[in-house]
Structures are given as structure tokens and as C-alpha cells.
Amino acid sequence: MQDSLDAFKRLLIIMDELREQCPWDKKQTMETLRHLTIEETYELSDAIVEGDLEEVKKELGDLMLHLVFYARIGREKKAFDITSVLNGICDKLIHRHPHIYGNTKVKDEEEVLKNWEKIKLKEGKKDKSVLEGVPTSLPALVKAMRIQDKARGIGFDWEKPEQVFEKVEEEIAELKVEVEKQSDQVASEFGDVLFSLVNYARFIGVNPEDALERTNKKFIKRFKYLEKHSREDGKSFETMTLEDMDVYWEKAKKIP
């Protein structure tokens, strides 16, 4: 534990030195750091998806630097500092885990999540919506997951995965109708299909964002195989037929 505290103290000292002496660090604001923080978060996400623990360690360090940077700027503005930030999250965790730090009894993870959402509602305004805790700037797929998690937290949810899959099929059928009619509701119905698929993924224990990213990476790997080997065989996309491309694609699918 002492080693961890010493390392964190070292980071705080370096952050102060950079803020006071480095021309670039001196100029940064919360606004200029924001897009960089988002980029670092996605880089961490990539490392996690790849299962590269060494890279995860590096990206956690980059993200930790950003968090300390925001706290330093907050101190300059006399709004908050790293101490109040850390005490704030400690107090929140204790308050929202009454089954650990209080007398509340829970039987499983589901009850923990429901209690968490109920406590959050009590902490806010009386007329606060359950969904207000979902950031508006989240990517749509991630936002759908969070919306559904929030609704589940107060008991607004399906009971069985079979029911959710029936909803998926219902939404697909409605999409087909609108596509055939060439109506202006196609985009809306397509959104409903995606939302219902996210819901089903949640019920069968699949993170749809991670699943889609894995498929993206799989497609990229296979497509690059197609490009590389067709080029080595002296072929070009301009002259290849879809059937020609499919031969390489099927070979790529056999590679782990």
C-alpha cells in the first residue's frame, strides 16, 4: 500500500512541476484536455478488447495523468482539488454500498444494482428522472446500454430473454414493412431494431459494444488478407469479380 501511495504522490509532484514549468502543460484547460481524454479512454478500451495487459497498464497511466491534470486545474480555480475528488468518491462508494458498510442485505448482483439506482434517485432532486444520469454525449450504442441498465434498476424490464428476442423479431418485421413501402419511417424502425438487439444482448450476457468491435476487427483482418494475397497473385480489385474476392475471403475465415 505504501508503494502505491508513494507512486501517486510522485505523480502529483510531477504534475505540479509540469504545470508550472512546461509551456504546453501551462496552456492546457479542461476544454483542451477533453478530446484528448476521450482519445485515451478509447485507447484503453482497445487494449482491453485486445487482451494486451501491458498496453492496459500503459493506457491506465495515461488516463491517470489526465485525471490528476483536471484536479490540478480545479485547484487553480479554487473549485476542488485531488483530496476533495478522492474523498468524494470514497464517500459515494460507502453510501452506495449499504450491504457492505451498513445493515442492508442483498442476495445477488441484481439487487446491488437496483439498490444503487434507488440510492442515486434519493441523492438527487425529487423530480429527477432515472435517465438523467446517462451522459448525452455517449455514442448511441453505449447510450442504449446505459438507458436500459437504468430502467432495469427500478424494475422496468423484461422477465425472460425469449420475450426480448420476440421483440427483436417484431421490430425486424416492422422494419421490413417500412422498407417495402419506402416510407420515411425506415430510419426510425432501424433504430428500434438496434435498440431491441442491445436489449437482447444484455439478457444473454453480451456487451454489444465489445461484440461489434470484435466483429469490426475480424472484418478488418479478413479484408486485409484479401487485399494482401490477391495483390501477391497479381490481381486487382478493378478486375476481380465478387466471386473471385469470395475465394480469398473464405480462406481468410479459416485463419484463427
Phi and psi dihedrals of 28, rounded to 5? Answer: -70, 145
Cβ of 8: how many Cβ atoms within 10 Å?
14
Task: List, for residues 18-70, the tens digit of each pLDDT value.
Answer: 999 999 999 999 999 999 999 999 899 889 988 999 999 999 999 999 999 99
Q: Is position 188 within any domain?
A: no
Q: Is position 127 within any domain?
A: no
The better pLDDT of the pair 242, 154 is held by: 242
Please list the helix, strand and coil fractions of the chain in percent, rounded to the nearest 5, in that order.
Answer: 75, 0, 25
Amino acid at 195: F
C-alpha cell at 222: 479478413
Q: Is position 249 within any domain?
A: yes
Contact 153, 140 (CB under 8 A): no
Can you tell me the distance from the alpha carbon of 66 to that of 162, in angstroms, rounded to the nearest whole number?
Answer: 43
Residue 177's pLDDT band, with cuts at 50, 70 and 90, is very high
Residue 238 CA, distance from chain mean position: 38
Instruction: State the total domains in the chain.
Output: 2
Q: What is the mean pLDDT of the chain?
A: 93
Q: Is position 142 within any domain?
A: no
Can you tell me the distance from the alpha carbon of 129 to that of 143, in angstroms, rounded to the nearest whole number?
Answer: 15
- pTM as predicted: 0.68
Closest CA to 66 of 16, 21, 15: 15
Identify the H or E element spanning 248.
helix 242-253
Residue 173's pLDDT band, with cuts at 50, 70 and 90, is very high
The better pLDDT of the pair 210, 192 is held by: 192
Least confident range of 102-106, 113-117, 137-141, 223-227: 113-117
pLDDT at position 114 = 81
Domain range for 224 is 209-253
Place of cell 414493412: 177
Cβ of 223: how many Cβ atoms within 10 Å?
14
Out of 77, 95, 113, pick the residue that ends a domain: 95
CATH number at residue 72: 1.10.287.1080
Q: Is position 78 within any domain?
A: yes
Out of 95, 127, 156, pick the residue that ends a domain: 95
